[in-house]
Amino acid sequence: MNTTDIFGLHAVTTLLQRNSDRVRCLLIQQGREDARLQSVLDLASTRGIKVISQPREGLDQRAGGGRHQGVIAECEPLRALSEKALDRLLEQSDTAPLLLVLDGVTDPHNLGACLRTADAAGVTAVIAPKDKSAPLNATVAKVACGAAEVMPYIQVTNLARTLQLLQQHGIWITGTAGEATQSLYQADLTGPQALVMGAEGKGMRRLTRENCDQLVNIPMAGEVSSLNVSVATGVCLFEVVRQRAAKAEA
């Protein structure tokens, strides 16, 4: 069976706390002794997970240049949820849903950063098409700093059809586009919301754009015409958070 490696103290700790059944064994750096690593070892012990010591060179090679911080978890691969999971999440949500839709984000670093930000902003789920999207690999897990273990990531066959389904659930679809005439800060983002972020460089695909209820832009004051998709995601999600908090206090 295929396995994947999750490395880094925070990512491995979250994995052990939230989804330890995925872990086959832990590889730790020989000779390293510190409190943070010991806490990981204690977690592994309570969950009956095998621990193997290896020279640092072996971990360096296995992490492929990534910063492993002396620990690597060999585990079953992360798997995206099915489209059926989206219906369950929407039915179970007791607050106005906030969904993040990534249309063609193919860089694992950007996907990991988006998952981390989505978790921080209280997003219900992250949705992406099965084709032309970054895989849930070790890089995603490392950059997400544990969010990949807890944030529902749903891959769908037909994104345009999924957006139409969300609209039937009363969810407003807001797409981001540089040429939009309405600013992010002018739009009402307080209700049930799906925020659509386009691919790096290309933006949203035509069918995705056509299924949006509104388009917004992030005002840019300098010479740069656009932001990295993970940075733009953070700006937009926390504007939703700000507006919702302001409405709740009003």
Q: Output the domain CATH number for residue 165.
A: 3.40.1280.10
The 10s digit of each residue's pLDDT in 79-131 is 888 888 998 888 887 788 999 999 989 999 999 999 999 999 999 999 999 98
Does residue 94 share a domain with residue 59?
no
For residue 1, the model assigns a pLDDT of 55
Burial, 10: exposed, middle or buried (Cβ in 10 Å; 0-12, 13-18, 19+)?
A: middle
Does residue 88 share a domain with residue 50?
no
Does residue 95 share a domain with residue 31?
no
Does residue 169 share a domain with residue 204?
yes
Does residue 174 share a domain with residue 68?
no
Tokens for 192, please give them. 């049930």
Instruction: Please give the tally of structural domains in the chain.
Output: 2
CA distances 47 to 3, 16, 42, 122, 138, Å, are 19, 8, 9, 28, 22
Torsion of CA 154, 200, 64, 31, to 10 degrees: -70
Q: What are phi and psi of 77, to 5 degrees?
A: -60, 150
Does residue 48 share a domain with residue 138?
no
Q: Are 71 and 7 in contact (CB under 8 A)?
A: yes
What number is the average pLDDT over the span 136-153?
A: 86
The 10s digit of each residue's pLDDT in 21-58 is 889 999 999 988 889 899 999 999 999 999 999 999 99
Residues paired with residue 155 on neighbouring β-strands, in sequence order: 128
The 10s digit of each residue's pLDDT in 196-240 is 999 877 889 999 999 999 999 999 887 777 789 999 999 999 999
Structural domain containing residue 29: 4-75
Does residue 129 share a domain with residue 222?
yes
